[in-house]
Chain A
Amino acid sequence: MRNSYRHLMKNLPLEKCPPDLSLKVIQKLGIADSFSQPNRAAKPNYLAMGFYSLTGLAAVLLIAAVLTYDYAGANSQHQRLASNAASLSAQISSNMKTVFISKGAFLR
């Protein structure tokens, strides 16, 4: 019978865990009931909602800027307005990604 340490340790398998261990842990923690509510899966991600709202706003501003600029013609005041709207849209977009992704909005 080979009883060298290397042989024995190499062939020693991991033990089979009691099958209901996860359930017992969850029951002891008392978290099973608090997660049986039907609307748990529908919990809103407010950060993501905020992100998409601002994305929509930036898109609307950009479209408005393009349309205003297109129809402004020689009116410099309208051109300035369109330019400002486009700048604001770009600024919102450039800041949003850093802020919202760092807050973990897209980890799910």
Chain B
Amino acid sequence: MRFNDRSVAIKILEGDIDAFEMFIDSFKSRVFSYCLRMTNDYSIAEELTQDTFIKAYRGISAYDWHKASLSTWIYTICRNTCLNHLRDAARKPGHYDLESCEKQPSSQDDYLSLEQRICLYAALDRLTVEEREIILMKDYLDIAYHEIGQIIGIPTGTVKSRIHSIHIKLRNFLASEEYHAK
């Protein structure tokens, strides 16, 4: 894995546009999904995804393959891009753009109904930004604990304990959503 990361990084640094396109294709879906879940706005998520890869291209010379994998590096850029946007936009927790959600193109494997998705999105939106980012990385993108710790800059043990308490919170939110839906 590290040799491939190094090889890809060198090719992008040398200006290999095909390698850069392949790099984008490998990560764009996950980066976009993360941005969308963090902002709940399709067009903003698209813009933030583009910004992430633009920053990655411009900063590729700073990537050190000894310190982190390419995926950790790109997720760190993505996370910082989203946080900067949310800070600038001063979005308050609890705001949920239902119209944006309904207009989203449906994914290929849509196992959940729109109702279930709205339920989940509403529960996620009740979390703080810090809680939402960590739970999306673990439960949505399936990033390893130690990698999340590297991305956010906290110990692995802290990641695990925070996720545990967030799970309890989400279960309570969903239980109350179901109650209100009835």
Total of A-B residue pairs, C-beta within 8 Å: 94
Stretch at the interface among A20-28, A55-63, A68-76: A20-28
The interface residues of chain B lying within 8 Å CB-to-CB of A24 are: 50
Determine which of B53, B109, B116, B140 lies in contact with A3 in the assembled complex, contact meaning CB atoms within 8 Å. B116
Contact with B along A8-39 (1 / 0, CB 8 A): 11011111111001101110110110110000
Considering the complex, give the chain A residue whose CB is closest to the CB of B113: A1
| Interface of chain B: mostly helix, strand, loop or mixed | helix
Stretch at the interface among B71-79, B80-88, B150-158, B170-178: B170-178
* Chain B CB within 8 A of A5 CB: yes
* Chain B CB within 8 A of A102 CB: no
Determine which of B57, B108, B170, B177 lies in contact with A29 in the assembled complex, contact meaning CB atoms within 8 Å. B57
The reply to whether B46 and A21 contact each other, CB–CB distance below 8 Å, is: yes
Considering the complex, give the chain A residue whose CB is closest to the CB of B36: A15
Q: Within the complex, what minimum Cβ distance (angstroms) separates B99 from chain A?
A: 16
Considering the complex, give the chain A residue whose CB is closest to the CB of B170: A5
Determine which of A4, A9, A21, A31 lies in contact with B50 in the assembled complex, contact meaning CB atoms within 8 Å. A21
* Chain B CB within 8 A of A44 CB: no
Given contacts A3-B116, A5-B167, A16-B29, 11 further A-B pairs with CB under 8 A are A5-B123, A13-B108, A15-B104, A17-B29, A17-B32, A17-B49, A18-B46, A21-B28, A22-B28, A31-B20, A35-B15
